Chain A
C-alpha cells in the first residue's frame, strides 16, 4: 500500500534518513519509533511530500507519489499532528470540512459528513458543530483533529505524535478510540511516536529507527521477544517481558468454573474449596452476581464471614500483565473474573499463574 524504497533525506552534511526501505500493508497501523532526531518525523513528512526525498521513492498503491501534484496527493491522505493545528478562526464544522471543501463537495454533503465524523470521534454534532477550538479541551481538539483528517475518507492516515501533548488519561482514552475507529475503517495508518507503550498498544508493526536507519521492523510481540540488537532491547525497556505479558490475554491463565457457593453453609464452603484446591470461595446469588467471598482456611464453627471481593476481581478482557498486577496487589491470591454487569464468569487460581510463570522460565512459553 505504502512502500518506501531506498529513501534518503540529506540536509547539507546532515543525513536525516538513510536508505530506508519499508512497506506498510493496507489496513494496518505501522508505528515509526525512535529517539528524537532518528528521522521518524522526516520519514512521515516525505510520504505527503512536506519534505522532498533526496533520493529513493515512495509508492502509494503501486504508484509513484510524484506522479500527482502535491496538493492532490495530500488531499488523499489524512494528516494529524501533535500541535493539532485546528484553525482558531474556524468553527469545528468548518475545520472538519476543510478537505471536502478543497475537493469541491456540495455544502449539504459536507454538512452531513461533518456530523457523521463528529459522531464517530465521540463528539455530539449538535453541541460541538458551531464551537470554536478555543472552547474545547485538548482531548476534544485532537478528536476534531482526527475527524478532520478522516473527512474526505482518505485510504491513508499520517499521524505525527498526535497524542503527545495530552495528559496520560486522555491519551489512553484517545488511543482506545483510535483502535475502535480503526476496527471499523481499516485505514492504512503511519503513526509516529516516541512512546514505546503507545507503539506496542497501537502498532500492527513497529519500525524502530536510529540515526536515520531502520533498525528493526516487526510486530510488537516479536519486537519484545527478539529485539534485533542491544539498542532495540534498551529502547523497548528492561521490563520488556512484562510488556509482552501485556500483549497476552487473560485466557492463558483463566479457569472456567470457580469455587462457588450460593449460601453461607460452612460445609458447602469447605467442600467447594477442597474440590478446586482454593483458599477462597466465591458467593454468588441466583443470577450469578458476585456478592463476596469466604476465606476457607479460617472457617470456625459458626457462619463464615462474607468478605468484600472487590479487590479480587479482573475484567474478562484484561491482559495477563493486568491480571498479574492485580494478583500481586492483593497478596498473591486467587482472582475472580467478573464481567461489567458484575457476573462471575471465571477465576484465575494462583497455582495456574505460578505454573504459567514456570513455563515462561523454562522457555515453554515465550515472553
Chain B
C-alpha cells in the first residue's frame, strides 16, 4: 500500500459501500409516534427504491471511485480528488432526500411520515470522512493553487444551500425533520426558542465571567479565597443540573412572594430567574480556575519588575497581570460558554424555555424530528459561540503573546 494512502478516506468509502447500500435509508410510519414501533414502521433501503436507480448507481459509483483514490493516492492531486468525491457525495445525499421519499411513497414502499434512517446518515458520514481525509493530506501537501482549493467547498455549500432553501422556501417537504424545521421557522417558534436560549446562556455566561474573573483576581491576591472559590465552584458542578434548577425554585418563589417589585420584573420560582442563576453557578468554575491559574502563571520576574519600577497595584493588575493572563482567561470563558449552551437545554424543565422546549416535547411525543429540532441548533450555537470567542480571543490577545511557545488563545 502506498504511504500516502488515506486511511480515513478508505474508511469513509467502506462505510458508504457497506452501510449506505445495505442499511435502510428511510423509515416511515402513518404517524410520528408509530415510527418507534417495529410492527407498523416500514424501512426502505436504497436498492429497494427502484424508481430512482440512477441515484443508487451514482452513490455506488462515487464510493467506488473514492475507495480507489483513497487506496492509490500518491500526491496532493489525488487527495484533492478524494476530497472532491466526498464533497459531491455529501451534496448528492442531501439532494436525494426529497425525490427518494416521493419515489418511495409513489411506489407504495413508504407511509406518510418519513424520516432519514441509518443508511442515509452513515452515507453522509462516510462521504464526510472522505472529504475530511482528503482535506487533511491536502493541507500537509499544499501544492494545490488557491483558486482550485476553493472548488472543494462548492458542493458542500450547494448542499447547505439546498437544505436551507427547502426549509426557507416553504415548499412542502416530506422529510419529517426538514418539515418540522420549516413549520417552526415559519410560525416563529424556532426564532423565539433560539432567542430564549441565547438569552439564558448569554446571561449565564456574562454573569459567570464577571463574577468568575473577579473571584479569580481575589483568589490571586488571597490564595485562601482562591482555594475556597475553586472548591465551591467544583462542588456546584457535581450537583446534577436538574437538581440545581429545582433547588433554586424555592428561594426564588419565596423572594417573589415577598417582593412585588421583583415579581413585576418577572422573578418567580419558575422561569428565567432561577435558570440563569443556576447556569451562572455552573459557568463559574472554568472562569475562576482559568483566571486564577492564568494570573498565577504570569512569570514572577515580570510582576517583580512591574512593582519595582513603581507601578501601583492597580497598574500591575491592568497593565501586566491581566493582559499577560488573557489567553488563559479567554480559554476559560470559551469552555464556560460551550458548557452553558448545552446545559441551557434543561432550563425548560423549570419553565424557562429555550431549545430544550423542543427536546422535551420530542421526548414526550417520541418524536425524533422534534428532538433534532432542539439539538441541531444547540450544537450549531455551541460550535458557533466557540469559534466566535476563539476569533475574538485571538484578535484581542496582545501580539507579543502569540510569539510565545505554549500560550494559545
Contacts and interface: CB of A to CB of B under 8 A. Distances in A.
Given A90-B400, A134-B403, A134-B404, A85 B302 contact: yes
B299 A85 contact: yes
Contact of B311 (A48, A102, A149): A102
Given A48-B308, A75-B309, A81 B400 contact: no
Which of B299, B301, B302, B309 gathers most chain A CB within 10 Å? B309
B307 A50 contact: yes
B304 A134 contact: no
A73 B303 CA distance: 17
Contacts of A134: 400, 403-404
A345 B305 CA distance: 48
B310 A87 contact: no
B400 A88 contact: yes
B324 A89 contact: yes
A82 B306 CA distance: 14
A81 B400 CA distance: 21
B308 A133 contact: no
A69 to B, nearest CB: 9
Given A132-B403, A133-B400, A134-B400, A86 B302 contact: yes
Interface string A137-164: 0000000000011000000001000000
A171 interface: no
Given A71-B311, A90-B398, A83 B301 contact: yes
Contacts of A75: 309-310
A246 to B, nearest CB: 32
A135 B304 contact: no
A137 to B, nearest CB: 14
B401 interface: yes
B140 interface: no
Contact of B304 (A50, A71, A90): A50
Interface string A42-72: 0000001010000000000000000000111
Contacts of B399: 89, 132
Contacts of B311: 71, 98, 102
Contact of A135 (B309, B320, B401, B403): B403
B202 interface: no
B361 interface: no
A81 B309 contact: no
A91 interface: yes
Contacts of A72: 310
Contact of B401 (A74, A88, A158): A88
B323 interface: yes
B310 A83 contact: no
B312 interface: yes
B106 interface: no
Nearest to A145: B305
B404 A88 contact: yes
A38 interface: no
A98 B306 CA distance: 9
Given A132-B399, A134-B403, A134-B404, A88 B308 contact: no
Given A50-B304, A81-B304, A71 B312 contact: yes
Given A87-B302, A87-B324, A81 B308 contact: yes
B300 interface: yes
Nearest to A165: B301
Contact of B300 (A71, A74, A83): A83
A84 B300 CA distance: 10
A90 B307 CA distance: 16
Contacts of A50: 304, 307-308
Nearest to B315: A102
A99 interface: yes
A238 B320 CA distance: 46
Interface string A76-114: 000101111111111100000011001000000000000
B190 to A, nearest CB: 43
Nearest to B324: A89
A84 B403 CA distance: 18
B397 to A, nearest CB: 8
Given A50-B304, A74-B308, 12 more contacts: A50-B308, A74-B310, A85-B301, A85-B303, A85-B306, A86-B302, A89-B400, A89-B401, A98-B311, A102-B309, A102-B315, A132-B399
Interface of A: 48, 50, 70-75, 79, 81-91, 98-99, 102, 132-135, 148-149, 158
14 contacts: A70-B310, A73-B310, A74-B310, A82-B301, A84-B305, A85-B303, A87-B400, A88-B398, A88-B404, A89-B400, A89-B401, A90-B400, A134-B403, A158-B308
